[in-house]
Amino acid sequence: MQDSRLTMADPTDLATLRVALRESDPDYTLHPIQMDSIFIQRQALEILPQVVSKLTNGTGKNILMVTDSTPYFRESSSVKEKVYFLLTQHFQVEWLVMHNETKDLHADNVNSKIIGNALQGKDCVIGVGGGTITDLCKDSTHMFGDDLPLVIVQTALSVNAFSDGVAVMLKNGVKRTVEARYPTVLIIDLDVVQQAPPERNLAGYGDLMATWTAPVDWYLSHVIGMNANYHESPSIILRPQLRELMKKSDRLAKMDRGTLSLLARVLTLSGLSMGIAGESSPASGTEHIISHLIDMSADSRGKNVAFHGAQVAVGAIMTSIAWDFFLKEFDPSKVDIDRCFPGHEEMKPKVYAAFSWLDKDQHAASECWSDYEKKLTKWHSAQESFRSFLNNWDSFKEEAEKKTLSPEYLCECMHTAGAPTRYSRLTPEIDAKTVRWAMNNCHLFRNRFTLSDLLYFLGWWDEAFVERILDRAETLDAGL
């Protein structure tokens, strides 16, 4: 019998969640949730001045408010202006608008420094916006010193990245998850997120589809000896409630407030799952890597990217097809172990061939190789665990099947919610050549072992296999 404090975890009651997690973790593997509080409610904006006063012990006067430059509307008044107005009734507020002249705003070091330069003398930082503003605020205040209170006012249910201690930053043109900090307080006003463009909230729903692929990758990498930190609790806190949410995909399509509240809750739990794991593995596996490659490709060509979560959802469908093929067809007795361990001299040119075109100085390729090299070295030292994985295939298969959902069901839920399942239906659309490049090369991108690595080493993951995935997706009205 599983603990209902975990299976029905309530992110707005962190005290109870902390106790339940503590009791589920006798070996102290999990990391603490370093947040004061999370509010998911109607009219949550109204409590902001009170929250800031409490965080600054009633003495803080100087507030930095950070937003992007996109206009954002709640009924007729701008959410950002409303937050500014509420704050200026009580505090001295500097409003820093982050923008990029030609393209979307990126979470990169240049933008992080711009915020960092405005932090001196501030008593509290309020980030109002989506994932990029949140990542920039987390990164810049982390560099400054983690004791500066950070409040995030989430304006859409677009990603799960609000309630964890890491930031996804662009480094040498490559997206990397970096150590940052948690927001001190997260505020989700249901009236605000209900007014967000539906495709943004559906993107958040899409980001959650990784729950049926990423933790399976994580479990695989643990069993095969590539990751020592696996724990069940990060997934337990969100899976049952996500199943409930998926049954309500039709109500989500109508942006029903009760269903949005459940989406807010599950997305926040998904962020917390990464925080307590101390790494993004519970919510980021093969599907995210495919998405990161698509982003890098767009970035190198100076193009905008589609919503992160919308891209991830299509990647999750592709990955769930790969899992389905693997779990149904793999026969461990046919594996030639000696052929599963390519050397560095064989793989280095492959990594450079995959990524050299991204920039003229090959920074991205060098960055990827420096990460991939570590993974390859570790893989060579995991031969014994790999043998034992092959010997215990049936028990692995049984566990993995419990952690996945069929690609058919993922597609059905996405279609019912009115969310895209094809790369060509995203905005901007992603062309077939880019998708094929991203899928073929995703395993070469970083130091995290996923299904795509194992399938590559087994000799499965190649152009023909990618075509097979795409063909199966086509039968589900998904894929390209």
Residue (of 198, 189, 201) closest to 12 by Cα position: 189
**Between residue 242 and residue 281, which ones bind Zn ion under the rule CB under 5 A?**
none
Least CB distance from residue 308 to Zn ion, whole Å?
Answer: 6
Q: Beta-carbon neighbour count of residue 70 at 10 Å?
A: 14
Q: Residue holding tokens 């693997």?
A: 326
Least CB distance from residue 154 to Zn ion, whole Å?
Answer: 14
**299 contributes a contact to Zn ion by CB under 5 A:** no
Least CB distance from residue 380 to Zn ion, whole Å?
Answer: 30
Give the total of residues touching Zn ion (CB under 5 A).
Answer: 1
**135 contributes a contact to Zn ion by CB under 5 A:** no
**Residue with smaller CB distance to Zn ion, 24 or 404:** 404
Q: Residue holding tokens 């420096």?
A: 370
> What's the rounded Cα separation, in Å, for the pair 480 and 472?
11
How would DSSP label each residue in 2-48? Answer: --HHHHT--TT-HHHHHHHHHHT-TT--SPP---SEEEEETTGGGGH
> What's the rounded Cα separation, in Å, for the pair 471 and 440?
15
**Residue with smaller CB distance to Zn ion, 135 or 207:** 207
**Residue with smaller CB distance to Zn ion, 166 or 455:** 166
Stretch that binds Zn ion, among 43-51, 57-65, 200-208, 418-426 (CB under 5 A): 200-208
> What's the rounded Cα separation, in Å, for the pair 285 and 400?
14
**207 contributes a contact to Zn ion by CB under 5 A:** yes
3-class SS string, 275-335 = HHHCCCCCCCCHHHHHHHHHHHHHHHCCCCCCCHHHHHHHHHHHHHHHHHHHHHHCCHHHC
> What's the rounded Cα separation, in Å, for the pair 320 and 390?
21
Least CB distance from residue 309 to Zn ion, whole Å?
Answer: 6
**Residue with smaller CB distance to Zn ion, 263 or 351:** 263
Stretch that binds Zn ion, among 204-212, 323-331, 438-446, 466-474 (CB under 5 A): 204-212
**Residue with smaller CB distance to Zn ion, 207 or 279:** 207
**Residue with smaller CB distance to Zn ion, 177 or 194:** 177
Least CB distance from residue 288 to Zn ion, whole Å?
Answer: 6
Task: For 183, list phi and psi in degrees, rounded to 5.
Answer: -65, 150
How would DSSP label each residue in 55-67? Answer: HTTTT--EEEEEE
**Residue with smaller CB distance to Zn ion, 236 or 283:** 283
Least CB distance from residue 43 to Zn ion, whole Å?
Answer: 28
Stretch that binds Zn ion, among 29-37, 95-103, 206-214, 355-363 (CB under 5 A): 206-214
Stretch that binds Zn ion, among 203-211, 394-402, 430-438, 467-475 (CB under 5 A): 203-211
Least CB distance from residue 408 to Zn ion, whole Å?
Answer: 23
Stretch that binds Zn ion, among 25-33, 199-207, 246-254, 350-358 (CB under 5 A): 199-207
Q: Which residue is nearest to Zn ion (CB)?
A: 207
**Residue with smaller CB distance to Zn ion, 11 or 60:** 11
The four Cα atoms 257, 260, 261, 263 give a dihedral, to 10 degrees, of 170
Least CB distance from residue 177 to Zn ion, whole Å?
Answer: 10
What spatial distance separates the first Cα and last Cα of the chain, rounded to whole Å? Answer: 42
**Residue with smaller CB distance to Zn ion, 207 or 367:** 207
Stretch that binds Zn ion, among 72-80, 207-215, 216-224, 326-334 (CB under 5 A): 207-215
**Residue with smaller CB distance to Zn ion, 63 or 318:** 318
477 in the Ramachandran plot: left (φ > 0), alpha (ψ -120 to 50) or beta? left
Q: Residue holding tokens 């993951």?
A: 461
Least CB distance from residue 214 to Zn ion, whole Å?
Answer: 9
For 135-228, list the strands marked E by DSSP. 150-154, 166-171, 174-179, 185-189
Residues that bind Zn ion (CB under 5 A): 207
